[in-house]
């Protein structure tokens, strides 16, 4: 039986001011970092505690109204956009670092804490929080939990799933469940691992216990400037094949370099450069010196034009700021851009980049490449002008062709940005009928009515009965 006065009930739980229904107030919530689809939520609720989240969820579930959590809305796959008339629970007010437990090397946080604030808080104790998405100045740890986010330093240290030891979550029925433990030991099926990366479709995280990593004694950041993209790609494979696991191994091509050099943190790359590698090695001082020397040798055997070693921490910070603001810098060379995210085996980098260049030519668009080369995690940035509907269609098709290349080369349709709305149909490229049926069974077990974040991730998930306002695909 549907509950008619659900909105009034929500206001009683979180307060009138924390329930937004005014169309102007809802506008900023009608999309996230994936701007090709817009869909206005039915309402936005701003809970301040786990108990408020659980109570809100109970009211919405009883009223059969779909809902989803939202952090900073930086999802690049539409994960935080409300479909099917869903209500958004915006968790930005649950943004407290609750405890820094140095003895157990764990920090306890609410889901709305911004990623970089964790490292800033634990730095004085000699620690950092390793997963560092390039969006870390804005994205929240709840979003990282949902997307199993990665980042440049995840090559050596592992992605989010390797750094969450326990989680408190609220289920679709409003129950509070604890998973994992302080020791980070898995006993029996890895239920916590199942939830991390489930793109907000199974539970809402309300408290997270994160593993801290000791700051390395020493590190060296290296820039390698190349005249050929192919040589830069081969150098990436050669570094890893030599048994070196750098803390980070990033690559940008010429178009990306052009954009970042116009941005707020230019490094002074020559204009005719075809590719740059940003490499970081860390560890004990003697190890770092030795590894940096080995890396340099490999770079020279791949016809590197120039190798630069960061001499000061300011220089290192600037090089990283240059790289981490690369997506935003696209705005300096194009009205809009669409970020793709796919994975290929590292050895296929030269082939993948050549095929992406051919796709750009076929669809008559420009594609910049900025990516986590060491992981084989590609981020082609497809530049376009949204005022040209035909160009938008060409960009969407080119993005889909790039994913086909990733699958064909033995990789995957997403490395870290998730499936969300964007790639829901592309799931069929990667998984067979049986795989998708098994995945849908997991969703049904947690959320039989399909109320939590509908229309995302699984093309075969149960669907709720609500339709609400449908998404608008821009064309």
Ligand X SMILES: Cc1cc2nc3c(=O)[nH]c(=O)nc-3n(C[C@H](O)[C@H](O)[C@H](O)COP(=O)(O)OP(=O)(O)OC[C@H]3O[C@@H](n4cnc5c(N)ncnc54)[C@H](O)[C@@H]3O)c2cc1C
Pick between residue 134 and residue 348 the one whose CB is nearest to ligand X: 134
* Interface with ligand X, residue 174, by CB under 6 A: no
- Residue 142 binds ligand X (CB under 6 A): yes
Element (H, E) at 315: helix 313-324
Smallest distance from the beta carbon of 114 to ligand X, in angstroms?
8
Site string for ligand X, 27-56 (x = CB under 6 A): -----xx-----------------------
Per the CB < 8 A criterion, the answer to whether 203 and 50 are in contact is no
Choosing from 30, 48, 144, 322, the residue that interacts with ligand X (CB under 6 A) is 144
Q: Write the DSSP symbol of residue 199.
A: T
From candidates 41, 47, 73, 411, binder to ligand X by CB under 6 A = 73
- Site for ligand X (CB under 6 A): which residue of 47, 66, 71, 376? 71
**Interatomic CA distance for residues 415 and 342, integer angstroms:** 5
Say whether 443 sits in a helix, a strand or coil: helix
Instruction: By CB under 6 A, name the one of 41, 85, 133, 455 that touches ligand X.
Output: 133
Q: Other C-beta atoms within 10 Å of 321: how many? A: 15
Q: Which residue is nearest to ligand X (CB)?
A: 143
> Who contacts 6 (Cβ-Cβ below 8 Å, separation ≥6)?
59, 60, 62, 63, 65
Which of 66, 150, 246, 376 binds ligand X (CB under 6 A)? It is 150
Q: Which stretch binds ligand X (CB under 6 A): 8-16, 96-104, 199-207, 210-218?
A: 199-207
Residue 125 near residue 102, CB atoms below 8 Å: yes
402, burial (CB in 10 Å: exposed 0-12, middle 13-18, buried 19+)? buried
> How many Cα atoms are found within 13 Å in the side-chain-facing hemisphere of 175?
8
User: What mask of x and - would describe binding to ligand X in positions 384 to 423, judged by CB under 6 A?
Assistant: --------------------------------xx------
Q: Which is nearer to ligand X, 131 or 292 (CB)?
A: 131
- Residue 454 binds ligand X (CB under 6 A): no
Going from the C-alpha of 106 to that of each of 91, 216, 363, the distances in angstroms are: 22, 17, 49
Is residue 76 part of the contact set for ligand X (CB under 6 A)?
yes
Give the phi and the psi of residue 86 in degrees, each rounded to 5.
Answer: -75, 155
Q: Which is nearer to ligand X, 33 or 454 (CB)?
A: 33
By residue count, the chain amounts to 475
356/301 Cα distance (integer angstroms): 26
Among the listed ranges 8-16, 131-139, 225-233, 361-369, the one in contact with ligand X (CB under 6 A) is 131-139
- Site size for ligand X (CB under 6 A): 37
Are 276 and 227 a contacting pair, CB within 8 Å?
no
Residues of this chain, 89-108, that bind ligand X according to CB under 6 A: 91
> Which of 3/92 has CB closer to ligand X?
92
Per CB under 6 A, does 14 bind ligand X?
Answer: no
**Residue nearer to ligand X on the CB measure, 145 or 363:** 145
Using CB under 6 A as the binding rule, whether residue 221 contacts ligand X is answered as no
Stretch binding ligand X (CB under 6 A), from 149-157, 348-356, 391-399, 430-438: 149-157
Taking a C-beta distance cutoff of 8 angstroms, is the pair 91, 141 a contact? no
Q: How far is the CB of 373 from ligand X (least distance, A)?
A: 13
Which of 207, 202, 217, 208 has its CA nearest to residue 161?
208
DSSP string for 396-431:
HHHHHHHHHHHHHTT-BS-SSS--TTTTTTTHHHH-
Site for ligand X contains 334 (CB under 6 A): no
Burial 261-291 (b: 16+ CB within 10 A, else e): bebebebebeeebbbbbbbbbbbeeeebeeb
Q: Taking the complex as a whole, how short is the minimal distance between the CB of residue 135 and ligand X, in angstroms?
A: 3
| 55 versus 76: smaller Cβ distance to ligand X | 76
Contact pattern for ligand X over residues 224 through 263, marking x by CB under 6 A: ----------------------------------------
Helix (H, G, I), strand (E, B) or coil at 371: strand
Q: Is position 200 an interface residue for ligand X (rule: CB under 6 A)?
A: yes
Rounded to a whole number of angstroms, the minimum distance from the CB of residue 34 to ligand X is: 9
Q: What CA–CA distance (Å, rounded) separates 450 from 428?
A: 20
> Closer to ligand X at the Cβ: 156 or 234?
156
Could you say whether residue 119 binds ligand X (CB under 6 A)?
A: no
Q: Which residues bind ligand X (CB under 6 A)?
A: 32-33, 68-76, 79-80, 91, 111, 133-135, 139-140, 142-147, 149-151, 199-200, 204-205, 327, 416-417, 453
């Amino acid at each position: 039986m549907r509950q008619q006065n659900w909105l009034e009930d929500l206001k009683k739980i979180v307060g009138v001011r924390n329930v937004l229904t005014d169309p102007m107030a809802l506008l900023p919530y009608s999309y996230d970092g994936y701007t090709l689809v817009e869909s206005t939520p039915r309402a936005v609720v701003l809970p301040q505690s786990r108990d408020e989240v659980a109570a809100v969820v109970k009211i919405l579930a009883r009223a059969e109204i779909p809902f989803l959590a939202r952090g900073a809305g930086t999802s690049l796959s539409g994960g935080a956009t409300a479909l099917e008339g869903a209500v958004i629970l915006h968790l930005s007010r649950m943004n407290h670092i609750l405890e820094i437990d140095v003895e157990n090397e764990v920090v306890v946080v609410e889901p709305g804490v911004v990623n970089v604030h964790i490292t800033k808080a634990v730095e004085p104790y000699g620690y950092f929080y390793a997963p560092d998405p390039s969006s870390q100045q804005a994205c929240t740890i709840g979003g990282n939990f949902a997307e199993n986010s990665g980042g440049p330093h995840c090559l050596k240290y592992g992605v989010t799933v390797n750094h969450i030891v326990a989680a408190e979550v609220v289920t679709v029925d409003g129950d509070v469940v604890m998973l994992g433990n302080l020791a980070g030991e898995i006993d029996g099926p890895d239920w916590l691992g199942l939830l991390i990366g489930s793109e907000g479709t199974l539970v809402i995280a309300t408290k997270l216990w994160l593993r801290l990593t000791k700051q390395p004694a020493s590190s060296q950041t290296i820039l390698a400037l190349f005249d050929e993209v192919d040589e830069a790609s081969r150098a990436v494979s050669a570094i890893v094949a030599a048994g070196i696991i750098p803390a980070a191994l990033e690559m940008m091509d010429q178009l990306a370099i052009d954009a970042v050099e116009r941005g707020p943190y230019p490094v002074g790359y020559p204009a005719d450069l075809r590719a740059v590698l940003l490499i970081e090695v860390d560890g004990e001082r003697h190890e770092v010196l030795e590894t940096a020397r080995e890396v340099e040798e490999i770079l020279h055997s791949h016809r590197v034009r120039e190798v630069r070693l960061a001499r000061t921490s300011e220089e290192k910070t600037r090089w990283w700021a240059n790289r981490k603001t690369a997506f935003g810098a696209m705005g300096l060379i194009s009205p809009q851009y669409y970020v793709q995210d796919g994975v290929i085996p590292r050895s296929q980098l030269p082939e993948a980049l050549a095929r992406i260049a051919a796709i750009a030519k076929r669809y008559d668009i420009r594609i910049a490449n900025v990516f986590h080369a060491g992981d084989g995690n590609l981020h082609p940035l497809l530049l376009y002008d949204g005022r040209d509907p035909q160009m938008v269609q060409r960009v969407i098709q080119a993005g889909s062709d790039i994913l086909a290349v990733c699958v064909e080369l033995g990789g995957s349709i997403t490395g870290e940005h998730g499936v969300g709305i964007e790639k829901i149909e592309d799931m069929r490229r990667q998984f067979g009928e049986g795989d998708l049926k098994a995945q849908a069974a997991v969703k049904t077990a947690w959320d039989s009515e399909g109320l939590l974040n509908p229309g995302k991730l699984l093309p075969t998930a149960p669907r709720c009965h609500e339709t609400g306002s449908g998404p608008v695909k821009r064309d």
